[in-house]
Structure 1
Amino acid sequence: MDALWVASVTDSINTIYLLFSAYLVFVMQLGFAMLCAGSVRAKNAMNIMLTNVVDAAVGSLSYYLFGFAFAFGDGSNSNPFIGVRFFALKDIPSSSYDYNFFLYQWAFAIAVAGITSGSIAERTQFSAYLVFSFFLTGFVYPIVAHWVWSSSGWLSPGSSSLLFGSGAIDFAGSGVVHLVGAIAGLWGAAIEGPRVGRFDAFGKPVPIKGHNATLVVLGTFLLWFGWFGFNPGSFNKILVPYPDTTDQGHWTSVGRTAVTTTLAGSTAGIVTLFGRRLLIGHWDALDVCNGVLGGFVSITSGCAVVEPWAAVVCGFVAAWVLIGLNILALKLQFDDPLEATQLHGGCGAWGLIFTGLFAKEEFIVQAYDSGVRGIVRPYGLFLGGGWSLLGAQVVELLAVVGWVSVTMGPLFYALDKLGLLRISVDEEVAGLDISSHGGYAYNAHPEYSSPREETGPRFYSDYVRLQDNS
């Protein structure tokens, strides 16, 4: 009876913890919405908020119908979920299926589409959002999640056949989530081209400021809050006691994971603040917000397997990766209104490499072998663990870039050729809110529609003239 009672209490705690973590990750959708809304011009605020809602709603259906099965099914038995009726979800910690696990994984899946939406903001047809969001959440992302997070995935550190004897450690998704969303956004933004007026006739960048810094800061703090579900919450079966020890199992790792997350984001924010101060000559709250998020993206891969001091190193490098990629993007005339490709792609890639350099063997055993004594694992190169883990991390990076490129690249190309991707120049200049959504988000402020709010040509004839002159 005592054993049954303990098991019941354990299951209850695990359920509460996992659901609470899922709710925190879902709050990140609100953070994305506020960050995106503040980062675009007022004439597109309604559009970007609607796309964030649609990402969550469409993602719910596509992940339910298809994505969950692709990510965690093995194709043998039936299951009550419609999309997974032919899949035995052996990775889920219950006899058949588990709603809690589904909800947590769904919250991750819809975050991917939100990243991509930011890259193509202010010039994309609304119908295109519906198409790519469904495809990305239901098919592209789940395949990567299966590779890395399913026990039968070829990159999984929990697989029975470990790549390089290690598997790729991407604990909460620097590659699985952030790099996937960023590469999809890279292709979308590249195929669409820059916004009207983003670069002048000589190819020099013209600043296009977002309309509300308050929303950007609010969104950043909401994302920060949600990241405590994103990273520490990834201990899915949290109350697992370690054998032959007196500690409380994974509970001992949860607090450290939250600390490494905080330190990496904080370090990246401070370094970005001072780095941009040196480059542009003044302090910028928006730059430090993106720096903080870049640090979080980077630490997400190794948050559970590195020391706090290593998290500081992670954040320091992440800041310079973000700054450098933003400079490169301007030189290449690549236009991403939210720096999503640079932030989630560059910092996500660095996070995978960082884990291969600084992961600690003891913590890897805690996270992936429940602290079993005598387990030997490849670990960080800089800590003496050899090249195996780093090699697996590089393979994951290349696999993600390749897979997303061959799936999302052709999708965006097809949408473009069908005339379903980019809005017309006149619509873009007028603003998506008035052309597609019936009015501006700020009806009490008609000055937002005045010419002084524009940074580019206001009429199509002006745009043609500028192109001819170039």
Structure 2
Amino acid sequence: MACDASQLAPLLGNATDAADYICNQFVDAGYAIDNTYLLFSAYLVFAMQLGFAMLCAGSVRAKNTMNIMLTNVLDTAAGGIFYYLFGFAFAFGTPSNGFIGKQFFGLEEVPQAGFDYSNFLFQWAFAIAAAGITSGSIAERTQFSSYLMFSSFLTGFVYPVLSHWYWSGDGWASAGRNLGQSLLFKSGVIDFAGSGVVHMVGGIAGFWGAFIEGPRIGRFDHEGRTVALRGHSASLVVLGSFLLWFGWFGFNPGSFVTIFKSYGPSGSINGQWSAVGRTAVTTTLAGCAAALTTLFGKRLQTGHWNVVDVCNGLLGGFAAITSGCAVVDPWAAIVCGFVSAWVLIGLNTLAAKLKYDDPLEAAQLHAGCGAWGILFTALFAKEKYVNEAYPGRPGRPYGLFMGGGGRLLGAHIIAILVNIGWVSCTMGPLFFILHKLGLLRISREDELKGMDLTRHGGFAYVYHNEDPGHRQLASFQLKSAAARVDPSTPPQAAEPNDA
């Protein structure tokens, strides 16, 4: 903030004018700091799209890499347009009713107090994250055109309406609803950064897509036994997981939206900046605990140390802590991560028994661990932190295990059921209609050959020697000709279930 003495000097003769000038400059600086913080958080959350892309690419077979990468780009682009036209208005258009917003279509009347362009960018990044989760569940067997339809519908309507219920000041289940107006146990739902709003929505939608489509060809043999269709690159899975971890530091701490806020007297270290730091710590500890628990849990189950399983466990811990990251102590975050790992392991075992196929474990990870995160918050939310994150509501319920009674737990159980019901009643019929119209799943021939070749003009990985003059020096390379080789196909004839 620049200070011009020539502007200030004439005002010093009038103490009131001088005080007004200084206060206005201070307020302007506060807006600038908070908007910069929110924009930086939005950039981190957007970087998670790269993490999703790498994770998805590594988790599918090489013959479908270009397809899954293109769907990630599509989720981002289509989500941007539809969230701009409709989604942001349905989610945060206020004043409105408790069910759906009705202002700010096409960002009309933005900016205004409390709603600047930074708010749109931040919330858009969340919306496309939900769509990215769903894409992973139906990977390797879904027609490209159907991605356009479900991604647009999810980011333009399904996700925004549900986020309005919990995150808008008008939402019927919002923890930030005006004093005395809460419609849910005089509490509302504490889903701080979206275990339910983002992760359950994406995971449940993905479940219905994968369930209606059915498993990939070869995922289960003729006797019903599970056949591993492994992703082609553990390196990309690890890269994607670390990028998602990095982005989660915007996802969870950034959900405070502002940082320039004190919780105590002037000069106190107790402020929103400290809560932001604590939230980053709880996020980290939950992921770490989940990763280590998965490491040893899967070792007992399979006899192997599997890095892909560990990465999925890590992400499950992050999905679970996202709800209560701002209102629990660090030690509780470790409990959250520990339990989330067993939730994921258990759901994956159940999925195999039920012949359910999700290439990225997205439904189990995001919906299952997200639901656990909602319950965890109702058990471990601390009174002090709840009142800091959601001020102005004396006597607000908090965690059952922390002495806060059962009202918050009751609200959160209802939230889980409502989330399942809303997404099932909207996305389930959409996938079913696409399936009946023949628009959902690709043909058997295309699936066996791989969508990169049959739908996208060629493989993502192409090995050939472009310089005929150096063919003799590259004995380890494939000879030129015009041949293109799918890296997922071994030298010997590929079996049908790995084609």
Which residues in structure 2 correspond to 1:389-400 (within 5 Å)?
389-400=408-419
Distance 2:263 2:209 in 1: 46
Q: In structure 1, which of residues 297, 305, 308 is the aligned counterpart of residue 327 of structure 2? A: 305
Which residues in structure 2 correspond to 1:133-148 (within 5 Å)?
133-148=151-166
Q: Verify: 1:382 aligned to 2:382, yes or no.
A: no
Distance 1:126 1:140 in 2: 20
Change (3 A) 1:38 1:449: closer
Change (3 A) 1:43 1:251: same
2:359 maps to amino acid: P
TM-score (norm 1): 0.92
Distance 1:171 1:367 in 2: 9
Q: In structure 2, which of residues 115, 125, 129 is the aligned counterpart of residue 111 of structure 1? A: 129
> CA deviation digits over 1:200-257, x for unaligned, max 9?
0011110111001100000000000000000000011221223657345311201100
The equivalent residue for 2:273 is 251
- Residue 457 of structure 1 and its aligned partner are, at CA, apart by 4.8
Q: In structure 1, which of residues 432, 441, 453 is the aligned counterpart of residue 451 of structure 2? A: 432
**Contact 2:295/2:310 (8 A) holds in 1:** yes
Q: Verify: 1:131 aligned to 2:145, yes or no.
A: no
Change (3 A) 1:401 1:114: same
Gaps of 5+ in 2: 1-20, 464-483
**Contact 1:206/1:455 (8 A) holds in 2:** no
The equivalent residue for 1:206 is 227
Greater CA drift, 235-244 or 384-393? 235-244
SS of 2:259's equivalent? coil
- Residue 6 of structure 1 and its aligned partner are, at CA, apart by 1.2
Q: Verify: 1:66 aligned to 2:86, yes or no.
A: yes
> CA deviation digits over 1:76-113, x for unaligned, max 9?
7x99955354xx78xx8x43841000000000000000
Which residues in structure 2 correspond to 1:225-374 (within 5 Å)?
225-242=246-263, 246-369=268-391
Distance 2:240 2:127 in 1: 19
SS of 1:111's equivalent? helix
Distance 2:498 2:246 in 1: 40
Q: In structure 2, which of residues 21, 30, 46 is the aligned counterpart of residue 10 of structure 1? A: 30
**Contact 2:189/2:412 (8 A) holds in 1:** yes
**Contact 1:208/1:455 (8 A) holds in 2:** no
Q: In structure 2, which of residues 437, 440, 443 is the aligned counterpart of residue 418 of structure 1? A: 437
2:106 maps to amino acid: G
Distance 2:190 2:373 in 1: 10
> CA deviation digits over 1:268-318, x for unaligned, max 9?
000000000011101000010001000000000000000000000000000
> CA deviation digits over 1:307-334, x for unaligned, max 9?
0000000000000000000000000000
Distance 1:264 1:272 in 2: 12
The equivalent residue for 1:40 is 60
Distance 2:22 2:309 in 1: 55
2:113 maps to amino acid: S
Paired residues, number:
450
Say which one has the larger Rg.
Answer: 2
1:279 maps to amino acid: Q
1:308 maps to amino acid: P
Gaps of 5+ in 1: 460-470
2:456 maps to amino acid: H
Change (3 A) 1:308 1:458: closer
The equivalent residue for 2:496 is 456
Distance 1:303 1:75 in 2: 28
Q: Verify: 1:408 aligned to 2:427, yes or no.
A: yes
Change (3 A) 1:422 1:394: same
> CA deviation digits over 1:139-193, x for unaligned, max 9?
0000110000000001100112222121100000000000000000000000000
Change (3 A) 1:447 1:177: closer
**Contact 1:260/1:303 (8 A) holds in 2:** yes
Distance 2:258 2:52 in 1: 28
**Contact 1:20/1:229 (8 A) holds in 2:** yes
TM-score (norm 2): 0.87
Q: Percent of aligned positions with the same letter in both sequences?
A: 64
Q: Which runs of 4+ in 1 moved over 4 A?
A: 78-82, 451-455
Distance 2:41 2:93 in 1: 23
**Contact 1:302/1:351 (8 A) holds in 2:** yes
2:42 maps to amino acid: A
**Contact 1:197/1:455 (8 A) holds in 2:** no
Distance 1:214 1:109 in 2: 27
SS of 1:165's equivalent? coil
RMSD, aligned α-carbons: 2.0
**Contact 2:80/2:124 (8 A) holds in 1:** yes
The equivalent residue for 2:461 is 442
- Residue 358 of structure 1 and its aligned partner are, at CA, apart by 0.3
Distance 1:327 1:457 in 2: 21
2:156 maps to amino acid: G
SS of 1:446's equivalent? coil
1:207 maps to amino acid: A
